[in-house]
Amino acid sequence: MAKNKSAFSSGSGVWLWLGVALITLLLDQLTKIAVVGAFQLGEALPITSFFNLVRVHNPGAAFSFLADAGGWQRWFFTGLGVVAAGVMVYLLRMHAGQTLFCLALSLLLGGAVGNVIDRLLYSHVIDFLDFYYGTWHFPAFNVADSAITVGAGLLILDELLRVRRGK
């Protein structure tokens, strides 16, 4: 009987994590809509001495990897994002009680789906956060990319803590 209760708990707990992913996705998409409405492609607005808001389109992956690959990368990265999202939903369902692990997966899921939506709708990802020092610019990124980065960092932290606990 306790086994069924545990399965029920993890099944209901998955909704919390899917909610976190949904909030991440909505923040990503709303900020991209705002940027598209406010900026022309390539237009920048200096905010500080090291940060601009800028509208950039990235047909590739992180750091514009494969941006000039001829178009096939759109479908490759879309498919990869869909498969990854499915795996993450499965893992959230199976491990809903593991808070740090599920928070990490939720951020990864929301970010991955946000970028998949861009690829499906526009054939590129909309980036707009531009950090720089002098003439050196870090590649522009977005809320989805930020969530993916934080989620990946939390996954690493979760694994380090798990190893330290001896599990």
Closest Cα partner for 122 from 58, 76, 70?
58
Catalytic residues: 127, 145
- Picking from 133, 151, 131, the residue whose alpha carbon sits closest to that of residue 141 is 131
Give CA–CA dist 132/126, Å, rounded.
Answer: 18
Residue-wise DSSP of the chain:
-HHHHHHHHHHHHHHHHHHHHHHHHHHHHHHHHHHHHH--TT-EEE-SSSEEEEEEEESSSGGGTTTTS-SHHHHHHHHHHHHHHHHHHHHHHHTTT-HHHHHHHHHHHHHHHHHHHHHHHHSSEEEEEEEEETTEEPPPB-HHHHHHHHHHHHHHHHHHHHHHHT-
